[in-house]
Copies of this chain bind each other. A is one copy, B any other.
Amino acid sequence: MADAQPSTRLRLTMAAAQLFQEKGYHGTSVADVLAMTSLPKGSLYHHFPDGKADLARAAAKLASDVMLDIVTAAYEPAEDFTQGTTRLAEKFARLFERHAHWRACPVQTLLLEGPMEAEMAPLLQGWIDATATQATRLGHPEPDTAATRVWVTLIGCWTLADAQKDPAPLRAMPGLLL
């Protein structure tokens, strides 16, 4: 007891986020989402009248918010920007090790295929902006450039880690920025 299950809408969104992250937009069927949540079709089309695309939007938003939380959690306790970046990379490396769907950046598949490629840019930019804010707070002289460098390198390392099925490139990432 005390299950306190999240709302139906949130359950669908979370399952969808996980599946899209892992298998991409076209690789995930609405039946997959339904199976993972044990919910009937009616619920899905009630909460997301536009169906799969609608669900993908919500999932991307959710995933992006999680990313923002991770950025904050990484940099907030850090003493300087470099240390925060190292904490960030370590967090992603841990997630990579523990959960199959974290083997790829949450939004990468949705960015590459599927009907909402265009909507992904602001999300990615949001992560960069949040990182730049932290860089400013930590006294970095060029916050925007630094934040962009972090994310560009992070995404590249993530891709390499995915290919190698090994989080090592993620952990090596802060070293590449020096």
Check B151 against A153 for contact (C-beta < 8 Å): no
Check A114 against B27 for contact (C-beta < 8 Å): yes
> Is A108 positioned at the interface, with any CB of B under 8 Å from its CB?
yes
* Bound-state Cα–Cα, A117 to B25, Å: 16
- Number of residues on chain A facing chain B (CB within 8 A): 36
A91, chain B: closest CB distance, angstroms: 18
Question: Within 8 Å CB of A114, what residues of B?
Answer: 27
A104, chain B: closest CB distance, angstroms: 6
For A27, give its contact among B104, B113, B160, B162 (CB under 8 Å).
B113
Question: Within 8 Å CB of A112, what residues of B?
Answer: 24, 104, 108-109, 112, 162
> Is A152 positioned at the interface, with any CB of B under 8 Å from its CB?
yes
Check B27 against A111 for contact (C-beta < 8 Å): no
Q: List the B residue with the shortest CB-CB distance to A121.
A: B163
Check A163 against B113 for contact (C-beta < 8 Å): no
16 A-B pairs besides A111-B162, A117-B162, A120-B163 with CB distance below 8 A are A23-B26, A24-B109, A24-B113, A25-B26, A109-B109, A109-B112, A111-B159, A118-B165, A121-B165, A125-B163, A148-B169, A149-B176, A152-B153, A152-B157, A155-B159, A156-B156
Contact mask A142-173 → B, CB, 8 Å, 1/0?
Answer: 00000011011111110110111100010001
Contact mask A107-135 → B, CB, 8 Å, 1/0?
Answer: 01101111001101100110000000000
Known contacts A24-B26, A112-B24: does B176 contact A152 (CB below 8 Å)? yes
A108, chain B: closest CB distance, angstroms: 6
Closest 10 pairs between A and B when the two form their complex, measured CB to CB: A156-B156, A26-B26, A152-B156, A24-B113, A155-B156, A121-B163, A26-B27, A27-B113, A109-B112, A155-B159
